[in-house]
């Protein structure tokens, strides 16, 4: 019997040794990472000089930002940069980005989407990320769903953070409280801690090939699992459009931020496609619209002028917008 | 800009579907399973259980059962800030105790004795929660049914120092001053003390009143919770006519709990005073205070609970030392005043569980425990010690000590003096002092 126990112990110990060998990159502590960030001179002046790695569809894994990355001085401050190239932008991408709570710290991501000429076409600030509490087998995380439809012109994606974000923190649910919830215990009354934001961290990327409904709008795991048995009912079929509507509704009041919610981008793009092709308008109607736009601008009724521009564009006018811009320039 | 036109419609659609979107099912649960061997031959021996007696020297390497809880809840109605929800929880397990009763893959989890032994039998396959809750706009909640209610535990000992679970009804979360009030009644059962004098009453009944004041903030000095419970046996006429050998006094249970954030974790101090039917559960590391009311009789030899009083002081918590070390601890002192005994009962214990994180998934955990009991009715002291070492794997970056699922491989060494109290001479002295095994524990 003692021999059996010894054998078992040996087998388990060898298992330990094997797993001990499988070490992930060490993520430095915030203070150390801040020093390293300050000490690392920017790699380059132009975004085109960054080294880009390919973002393959179907990738689902962790990106370790451990302070060995190049730095870049953005308008939002210096940051380590993970730079990705989107190999086939015309096929459309849906990307779920989750920054994991790591040693009680968060990397608060800023996403920069660049077009083929390395110009920013979309900027997702850290504030656009949603804190998701640990649930099931998922830990605490900051989450954002980035949809890049074919029309977005996206060719590159930068994973960065900002100086402003580094000064902040995110409050997360104390694990003792999550344990209490899982075990139907009384809430332990322990205050929820704050995770300081760090220049480094661990980010999970899930690269899909199509539109992804933001997780905040998704149904619960069990429900979707049950649905896989029972099939969808009418309510399920309606759901995606509700998600779209909600996303747009959220995006609109937030006009102060440069963020454009993915669904809103998609909706605008779809509308553009559905409109009549530019230049297909009757000359008489086009002249009529242009006259009305000129008058509206002269009367300083910009709202009305804009509505006319849009109406004209939907009807196929190619000259309405340049005319509007010209007219506005004449205003003093 | 087309978005602007679509907005009112979108808003209307969202509003009309709000009731539907509230229908997400919440899934929570827990399980532990594994195996253990006795180095002297045979299967693992365990000294504590999560039932009447908790793991007095810590639960690591001291759990001889397979156990699971599955919980499903759903908010079924939500309108104007009010909601109704239903909650269920079923528990499954092999028998828990000193003897390892884990069988083979096909083994049933139901109690071999069925429900004939008393209200706790068959507990390894049971319906622990079935209740409904009405949450009002003010945040106040009305509930009724069977539920885990306001349970408070020391995880490393599986010690439930307060447990208000059972069949009942109550009002929760009534705002009052800086905190909230919760009021509940529950109907608890004990063994029939009358020798089956009433064919319609298989158990003895004790209704309990449970009053709580939660979240009394003291600013940077932490927060206080106060609990008061009252119970009195309510036997049927036929039961009362048949016996006087039970406790019919009103029992009182008072608990004050102080919580404070400490060194990346927390510390809690719990002070308890329990009388009559509560005294036994509130003594030493006896468990589940409040989910039953001990009126004596049956296996306790008559009305031995009459006039008893117990005091218990617990300090426990979790602190962090840097990124690598998490440290869980528990210290307890308890006293029993037993009428008719010349001396008081004294029980105390300490359990420490430090954990060292090697990397993002693997850690080593050590658990050291000591426990002593000098009861009024025993001339000798019972004491026990343990040292357990485990290699554990879990997604550590998400919570260290709390990270689950956790796979562990353990070795545990026990020692002590049973003093003829549990029939453990053959175990903890020589026969069953070293256990090795593997276990998984998960919650979500």
Q: Judge whether B145 is closer than 8 Å to chain A, CB to CB.
A: no
Q: How far apart are alpha carbons B14 and B30 in whole angstroms?
A: 35
Q: Judge whether A271 is closer than 8 Å to chain B, CB to CB.
A: yes
- For residue A151, pLDDT over 60 is answered with yes
Query: φ and ψ at A66, to 5 degrees?
Result: -115, 10
Residue-wise pLDDT for B122-143, tens only, equals 666 789 999 999 999 999 999 9
Residues on chain A touching B436 (C-beta within 8 angstroms): 5, 8-9
Of B30, B147, B223, the CB nearest to A182: B30
pLDDT for B235? 93
Q: Do A9 and B71 touch (CB under 8 A)?
A: no
Residues on chain A touching B20 (C-beta within 8 angstroms): 235
ipTM of model: 0.83
Q: Which position has the higher pLDDT, A240 or A314?
A: A314
- For residue A239, pLDDT over 80 is answered with no
What are the tokens at B96?
A: 């828990």
Q: Judge whether B30 is closer than 8 Å to chain A, CB to CB.
A: yes
Q: Do A306 and B10 touch (CB under 8 A)?
A: no
What are the tokens at B299?
A: 């296996």
Contacts of A64 (CB under 8 A, 6+ apart): A24, A25, A27, A202
Q: How far apart are alpha carbons B227 and B210 in whole angstroms?
A: 7
Cβ atoms within 10 Å of A118's Cβ, excluding its own = 14
- For residue A228, pLDDT over 80 is answered with no
CB-based burial label for A153 (10 Å; 0-12, 13-18, 19+): middle
Average of per-residue pLDDT across A79-96:
91
Average of per-residue pLDDT across B198-226:
93
Which residue of A104, A183, A216, A321 to mutate against B (max B Cβ within 10 Å)? Answer: A183
pLDDT for B100? 84
Q: Do A182 and B28 touch (CB under 8 A)?
A: yes
The count of C-alpha atoms lying within 13 angstroms of the C-alpha of B63, restricted to the half-sphere facing its C-beta, is 25
Q: Judge whether A226 is closer than 8 Å to chain B, CB to CB.
A: yes
Considering chain B, what is the average pLDDT of its residues?
A: 87
Q: Judge whether A248 is closer than 8 Å to chain B, CB to CB.
A: yes
Please count the residue pairs, one from chain A and one from chain B, whose beta carbons lie less than 8 angstroms apart. Answer: 164
pLDDT for A120? 92
- For residue B227, pLDDT over 90 is answered with yes
pLDDT for B16? 36
Q: Judge whether B148 is closer than 8 Å to chain A, CB to CB.
A: yes
CA distance to A106, A127, B41, B60, B65, per residue, from B46 (Å)? 41, 51, 14, 10, 9
Q: Nearest residue on chain A to B258, judged by CA atoms? A: A189
Q: Is the omega angle on the peptide bond into residue B405 within 30 degrees of 0, that is, cis?
A: yes
Average of per-residue pLDDT across A281-310:
83
Q: Do A220 and B25 touch (CB under 8 A)?
A: yes
Q: Do A19 and B393 touch (CB under 8 A)?
A: yes
Q: Judge whether B4 is closer than 8 Å to chain A, CB to CB.
A: yes
Q: Cβ distance B314 to B154 under 8 Å?
A: yes
B237 in helix, strand or coil? Answer: helix
Residue-wise pLDDT for A24-62, tens only, equals 678 899 999 999 999 999 999 999 999 999 988 889 999
pLDDT for B161? 96
Average of per-residue pLDDT across A283-299:
85
pLDDT category at A238 given cuts 50, 70, 90 is very low
Give A102 to chain B, closest Cα distance, Å.
5
Give B398 to chain A, closest Cα distance, Å.
5
pLDDT category at A2 given cuts 50, 70, 90 is low
Q: Do B37 and A8 touch (CB under 8 A)?
A: yes
Residue-wise pLDDT for B83-120, tens only, equals 999 999 999 988 787 888 888 777 776 655 444 456 66
Average of per-residue pLDDT across A196-206:
95
Q: Do B397 and A139 touch (CB under 8 A)?
A: yes
pLDDT for A242? 33
Of A139, A249, A264, the CB nearest to B14: A249
Q: Which of residues 8-27 of A touch B (CB under 8 A)?
A: 8-9, 12, 15-16, 19-20, 23-24
Contacts of B278 (CB under 8 A, 6+ apart): B229, B231, B251, B252, B253, B289, B290, B293, B294, B310
Q: Judge whether A103 is closer than 8 Å to chain B, CB to CB.
A: yes
Average of per-residue pLDDT across A206-218:
70
Residue-wise pLDDT for B244-293, tens only, equals 888 989 999 999 999 999 988 899 999 999 999 999 999 999 988 999 99
Residues on chain B touching A175 (C-beta within 8 angstroms): 398-403
pLDDT for A231? 42
């Amino acid at each position: 019997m003692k021999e059996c126990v010894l054998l078992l112990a040996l087998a388990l110990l060898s298992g330990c040794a094997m797993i001990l060998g499988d070490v992930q990159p060490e993520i430095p502590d915030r203070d150390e990472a801040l020093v390293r960030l300050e000490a690392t001179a920017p790699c380059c002046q132009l975004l085109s000089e960054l080294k880009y790695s390919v973002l393959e569809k179907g990738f689902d894994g962790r990106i370790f930002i451990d302070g060995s990355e190049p730095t870049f001085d953005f308008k939002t401050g210096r940051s380590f940069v993970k730079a990705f190239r989107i190999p086939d932008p015309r096929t459309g991408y849906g990307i779920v980005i989750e920054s994991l709570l790591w040693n009680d710290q968060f990397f608060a991501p800023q996403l920069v989407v660049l077009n083929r000429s390395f110009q920013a076409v979309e900027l997702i600030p850290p504030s656009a990320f949603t804190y998701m509490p640990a649930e099931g087998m998922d830990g605490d995380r900051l989450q954002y769903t980035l949809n890049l439809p074919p029309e977005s012109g996206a060719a590159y994606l930068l994973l960065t953070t900002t100086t402003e974000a580094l000064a902040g923190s995110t409050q997360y649910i104390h694990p003792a409280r999550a344990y209490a919830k899982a075990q139907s215990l009384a809430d332990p009354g322990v205050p929820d801690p704050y995770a300081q934001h760090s220049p480094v961290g661990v980010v999970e990327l899930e690269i899909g090939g199509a539109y992804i409904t933001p997780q905040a709008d998704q149904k619960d795991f069990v429900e979707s699992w049950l649905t896989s048995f029972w099939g969808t009912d009418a309510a399920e079929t309606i759901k995606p459009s509700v998600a779209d509507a909600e996303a747009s509704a959220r995006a609109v009041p937030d006009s102060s931020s440069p963020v454009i919610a993915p669904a809103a981008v998609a909706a605008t793009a779809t509308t553009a496609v559905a409109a009549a092709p530019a230049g297909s308008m009757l000359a008489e109607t086009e002249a009529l619209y242009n006259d009305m736009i000129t008058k509206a601008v002269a009367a300083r009724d910009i709202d009305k002028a804009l509505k006319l521009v849009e109406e004209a564009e939907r009807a196929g006018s190619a000259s309405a917008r340049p005319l509007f811009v010209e007219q506005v320039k004449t205003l003093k | 800009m087309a978005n602007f036109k679509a907005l009112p419609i979108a808003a209307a659609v969202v509003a009309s579907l709000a009731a539907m979107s509230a229908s997400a099912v919440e899934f929570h649960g827990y399980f532990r399973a594994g195996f253990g061997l006795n180095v002297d031959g045979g299967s693992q021996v365990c000294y504590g259980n999560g039932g009447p007696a908790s793991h007095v020297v810590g639960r690591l390497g001291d759990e001889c059962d397979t156990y699971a809880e599955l919980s499903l809840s759903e908010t079924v109605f939500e309108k104007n800030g009010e909601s109704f929800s239903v909650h269920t929880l079923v528990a499954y397990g092999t028998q828990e105790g000193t003897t390892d009763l884990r069988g083979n893959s096909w083994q049933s989890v139901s109690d071999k004795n069925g429900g004939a032994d008393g209200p706790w039998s068959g507990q390894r396959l049971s319906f622990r929660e079935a209740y409904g809750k009405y949450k009002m706009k003010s945040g106040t909640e009305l509930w009724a049914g069977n539920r885990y209610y306001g349970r408070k535990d020391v995880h490393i000992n599986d010690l439930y120092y307060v447990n208000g679970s059972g069949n009942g009804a109550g009002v929760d979360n009534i705002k009052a001053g800086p905190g909230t009030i919760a009021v509940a009644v529950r109907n608890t059962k004990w063994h029939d003390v009358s020798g089956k004098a009433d064919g319609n009453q298989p158990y003895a009944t004790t209704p309990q009143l449970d009053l709580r004041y939660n979240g009394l903030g003291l600013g940077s000095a932490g927060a206080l919770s106060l609990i008061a419970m009252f119970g009195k046996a309510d036997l049927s006429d036929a039961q009362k006519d048949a016996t006087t050998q039970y406790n019919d006094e009103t029992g009182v249970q008072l608990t004050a709990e102080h919580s404070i954030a400490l060194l990346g974790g927390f510390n809690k101090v719990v002070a308890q005073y329990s009388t009559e039917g509560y005294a036994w559960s509130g003594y030493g590391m006896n468990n589940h205070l409040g989910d039953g009311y001990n009126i004596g009789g049956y296996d306790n030899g008559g009305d031995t609970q009459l006039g008893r009083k117990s005091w218990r002081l617990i300090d426990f918590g979790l602190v962090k030392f840097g990124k690598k070390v998490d440290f869980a601890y528990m210290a307890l002192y308890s006293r029993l005043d037993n009428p008719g005994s010349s001396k008081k009962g004294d029980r105390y214990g300490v359990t420490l569980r430090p954990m060292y994180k090697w990397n993002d998934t693997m850690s080593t955990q050590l658990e050291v425990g000591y426990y002593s009991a000098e009861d009024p009715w025993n001339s000798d002291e019972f004491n026990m010690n343990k040292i357990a070492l485990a290699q554990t794997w879990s997604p550590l970056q998400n919570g260290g000590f709390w990270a689950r699922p956790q796979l562990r491989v353990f070795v545990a060494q026990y020692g002590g003096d049973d003093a003829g109290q549990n029939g453990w001479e053959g175990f903890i002295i020589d026969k069953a002092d070293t256990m090795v095994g593997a276990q998984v524990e998960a919650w979500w």
